[in-house]
Structure formats: structure tokens, C-alpha cells
Chains A and B, each alone.
Chain A
Amino acid sequence: MRRGPRLLGPRRPSGSREEGARSALIAFVSTLILSGLALWVVLTSEAWPRVQRQFFNPSAFREVWPDVVSGFWLDIQMFLVAEVVILILALIIAMIRSLRGPAFLPIRALAIFYIDLVRGIPVILLILLLGFGVPALQLSGVPDGRLFWGVTALVLSYTAYTSEVYRAGIESVHESQRMSARSLGLTQGKTLWYVIVPQAVRNVIPALLNGFVSLQKDVALVYVLGIREAVRAAQIYNARTFNYTGYIAAAILFLLVSVPVARFTDWYTERDRARKQAMSA
């Protein structure tokens, strides 16, 4: 009970077991009544048959499901590849930004320039620019695949955001940690890698997971390049039938992935806080 997500509201000093059981019962009953009411209002509404036909149509769902699923599988693959690259690249850039001393100024400035530039451009613009623009140059040795460039655009954009998340983590580690490591004779790089980064990453895991959820949905944007992922597959069905059930099918698939990640993030944050409290106690 204590470790679980705090669905029952903020933690209070523990009362008797009887009281806990009673509040759980109240929560259960009121949830049941409220959701029952909401469902009843929707299902008895005059517009419901039309809504059902256009949005929740079982036969349309069966028809469009295989296309949307295969499109979604592509979304997942793009997401996984992009996420791994992003986590590595972003950490490198954040470490570069955290280097001190005048000698590192040029690469520090370069990192800042990259982050400012890419974060200031809409993702969709990056996708169009790289996905259509770069291959049109027909440079030899440069790939022209739209999957490659679509994922590259996402990686570039998300790396900028993620490196800022890492940097916030690095800055949250107390200065004394750095000083102690340096006084032990560790170089600047080693201090970062062995002392600062491990603590920093742990501090920002919830924020990183948040980025996961965001990217997992944004991969769909590469559909503008003609890639038939889940949203485009649903759109093609919609264009043929004017039925929106395909969009609902795609939404369900995205939710199936993003909701567990969101719940996991909550659970992890709670556990981490409990652990820290236990340590300081």
C-alpha cells in the first residue's frame, strides 16, 4: 500500500487499518458511481449511434486494424532505434557543455549553438528539410532513404532536448562532489564520467522517461515523407471511407505503449523519493 502509486491522495500519517479500508471503499464506490454516470450520459445521448458508427465501428475496426498494426510496428522500430542513439548522443553533448576551462570554449560554444539551433526549429520542418531536401542534392555517398532521414531529424531534435535534461541533472549534483573528485587527482573527464554522471542520470530518469513518451508519439510525424506508419495507414482508410475508426485504432496502440511508461515513471519517482527519504532519515 505504502509503496504503490498514490492514487488515494497525498500520504498521511498512517491511521488504523479500519480507517484505511473504509477510505478505500469510499474511493471505490464514488469512482464506480461517477464513471457509471459518465458512461450512461454518453450511451443514452442522441448523438451516440452516429458517434459509434463514425468512431467506434466494429467492422471498420476489423478492416483497418492489420494495416494500422503493421504501421505501428514501424513506429516502434523507429522509436527504439532513435531512442538509443538519442540517449548516447545527448549525454555526450551534455558532458561537452559541462566541461570547464578556457581550452574547451570552442566545443562548448558548438554544443550550445547546436542546441539553440535545433531546439528553435519545429520537428516537422526538420523532417521535411532533411527527408526531402538533403536527398534532392544528390550528393554521392549520402543516403537518400526517407526512413533514414526521417529518423535522423527526430534524433537531432530530441538529442538537443535530452542533452538539456542531462545537463540539468549534472548541475544538480553538489559542487562538493566535483571538488572532492578533483582533489583525489581525477581528471576533469574522469570526474564527470565516474562521479558526476552516475548521480546526474539517476536524478533525471523521470524526465528522460517523459521524453520517451513524447518521442514515441512524435515518430508518427515522418508520415509526411510518405512513410506508411500507423497514422498514415489510418488516414488512408479514412480518406476512402470517411470513417474515423482507424484513428481510434491508432490512438489505442499509442496509448498501449505510453500509458504503461507514464505509470512506470510515477512508480519510479515515488520509489526514488522513498529511498532518498530513508537515506536521509
Chain B
Amino acid sequence: MRTKFGLILFVVLTLVAAACGDDDAGDTTTPTTAAATTTTAADATTTTAAVTTTTEVDACAIDQLNLVTPGVLTVGTGEPAFPPWVNSITGGGFDEPESKEGFEAALAYEVAAHLGFADDEVTWVRTTFDEAVTPGEKSFDFNLQQYSITAIRDEVVDFSDPYYEVKQALVTVVGSAADGATTLEELKGLRLGAAIATTSFDLIESVIDPDTEVSVYNDNVDVQSALIAGQIDGFVVDFPTAFFITNVTLTVDEVGQEGVIVGQFESPGDEPEEFGLLFADGNPLVSCVNEALAALRSDGTLAALEQQWLVSGADVAIFG
């Protein structure tokens, strides 16, 4: 018994000693790290000096960019990605961003071309909507899947300048309780849904504030399933998506019910709601992409893409 007690005492003492040792190590490393930082800073100064003397180095040249995979532009989008944002090679399908078909697919390749990437130097990765808009390391250089630029999101990720101004719309099926509503007041008593982490969900809560708790789904596919199943009276999505849904997926041929856009919403703040490309927080690539977007805007490419892929919702009524 005595020896056993001694053994336990020994183990405990070793642990304590190890912990103290750890502490010492921590103390000694601190100055070393500090020294290292100083050297890096010094290096950085020399580099800046070098840049200012030559002035020839382009900060947006491909070999100067801080890319996830060097030499390749890695673009993130949804899983799956839907028209009119990402179509397919046949035009009618979806989820094939490599086809350059669809507004965001085409835009990504235009931006890439401006940065100097050939088409085969662009690769696509998939993320869910809410995963890409959280803090942390990113698997992409930029992500585009209709991210609205908001102040809260801007604290944890970075956005490019806007590439599209959007309105939110309410979708339902013919004959539902939401069909034919024209005022916000009429929407208050409805069972409404939206996908998690979207501005559509925020809009329902802040603008409509319905009596029944808003139903929240993983993505726009599940939201539609719930509407088809009769579990909600309607859902909110951005207008171009609403247009696609009511024309292609929510049709009598596809699901036996006819989808309709009930109306559009005025954006809740004073500012219009706008989509931006999403970057990891502090990514220096943003300024280069903004240059590319500005060029695309001024030479009319952006407007042409919008014309080609997106429908104007000007003739759809706005809820009063």
C-alpha cells in the first residue's frame, strides 16, 4: 500500500513538474517570437522599399496574388447551385458552373479573365450558404452565391463592391392562403418560411413580423418542399430566384402545383440590398477584384450579363 501511495505521489509530482516546465518554455519562447516578428517587419520594409524603387510590380499580377492554390483561381458557389445564377452546358439544367452558363458562372469567368486567368485556370469548390459566411479559413479565393452585403457579415468576411442590386419576393402556389395578397398586413397571419442565414429570413422577421413563427430551412430546396407539402403558405427568396422557381421548378408539370410570385418587398433599410463576392476577412484580393468589377461595369459587360441571364422584376407589384 505504501509503495502504491508513493507511486501516485510520484505521478502527481511529475505532472506538476511537467506543467511548470511548460510554463518556462512559454516564457522563453515569447522573446524569440517577438524577435522573429521584428525581423519579418524589417523584411517587409525592405520589400516595400524594393517595390517603390522598381514600381513595375503589379500587385494584381497572378504571381502576386495570395491564392488558395497558387496559379489557380478557386471560386466557391452553392451545393447545389441554381439558375439563373448557375445553369448547365445545355442551358436548361443547373449546377454546372464550369459551363459559364448562368449569371454568376459567367460573371466569375469575366472577373477571372480580367485578373489574367485563362478559363482552365479557374476551379470551383462547393460550400453551403451559411458555411461560407461564417468566420474562419476559406477553401476558396472568392465565393458567389447571392450573398447580400450586410454590416454584420462584413465584420467576419469581406465583400467586393456590389455586382447586382436585388429585391426580395414572396413565392406561393395558386390557391394558397398567400395567393393574391397585396399588403404587408395581409401577410402577417400567414405561415412563412425562408432558408437559414439568408437576408430573406431577416426580412420576414423585420418587415412582416408574422404571428406564426417563421419556419427556417437548410436551403431553398427544402423551403420549396415545405411549400409543396402544404406546411407553409409561402416563402421569401431573391427575385431572380423566385422567377426561376415559379417558371421552372414549381409548375404543374413538375410538382402538380402552380407557383406564383405574390409580390416584391422594398428593401428594409435605406440602402438597396446588393450582392457582393465574398472573401475571407482581410483577403488582399478584394481590391484587385473590385478593379475588375469596375472595369466590367464601365465597359457594359455587367449590364449585358444581367440582360442575358436575369429578368427585371419591374412589372411585379411591391407590397404596400
Contact = CB atoms under 8 A, between A and B. Distances in A.
A97 interface: no
30 contacts: A22-B5, A26-B8, A33-B15, A37-B16, A41-B19, A132-B225, A132-B228, A132-B229, A136-B229, A136-B255, A144-B229, A145-B231, A146-B226, A146-B231, A225-B226, A225-B231, A226-B193, A226-B215, A226-B223, A226-B231, A226-B232, A227-B215, A228-B216, A232-B216, A235-B216, A239-B197, A240-B202, A241-B152, A242-B134, A242-B152
Top 7 A-B residue pairs of the complex, sorted by shortest distance between their CB atoms: A226-B215, A135-B229, A239-B197, A132-B225, A136-B228, A144-B230, A136-B229
A128 B231 CA distance: 13
Nearest to A70: B213
Contacts of A146: 226, 229, 231
Contacts of A238: 134
Interface in B131-152: 134-135, 152
Contacts of B12: 29-30, 33
Given A26-B8, A241-B152, A242-B135, A236 B230 contact: no
Contacts of A241: 152
A200 B45 CA distance: 78
B196 interface: yes
A175 interface: no
Nearest to B198: A239
Interface string A29-42: 11001100100110
Interface string B211-243: 001011110001101101111100000000000
Interface of A: 19, 22, 26, 29-30, 33-34, 37, 40-41, 128, 131-133, 135-136, 138, 144-146, 224-228, 232, 235-236, 238-242
* Range of interface residues on B (Cβ < 8 Å): 35 or more
Interface of B: 1, 5, 8, 11-12, 15-16, 19, 22, 130, 134-135, 152, 155-156, 193, 196-197, 201-202, 213, 215-218, 222-223, 225-226, 228-232, 255-256
Given A34-B15, A239-B196, A241-B152, A132 B216 contact: no
A131 B228 CA distance: 11
Nearest to B194: A226
B226 A224 contact: no
B1 A19 contact: yes
Nearest to B202: A240
B197 to A, nearest CB: 4
B216 A224 contact: no
B213 to A, nearest CB: 6
Contacts of A145: 231
B213 A228 contact: yes
B218 A236 contact: no
A224 B22 CA distance: 46
Contacts of B256: 138
A239 B130 contact: yes
Given A40-B19, A135-B231, A226-B232, A236 B222 contact: no
A240 B155 CA distance: 12
Contacts of A135: 229-231
Contacts of B8: 26, 30
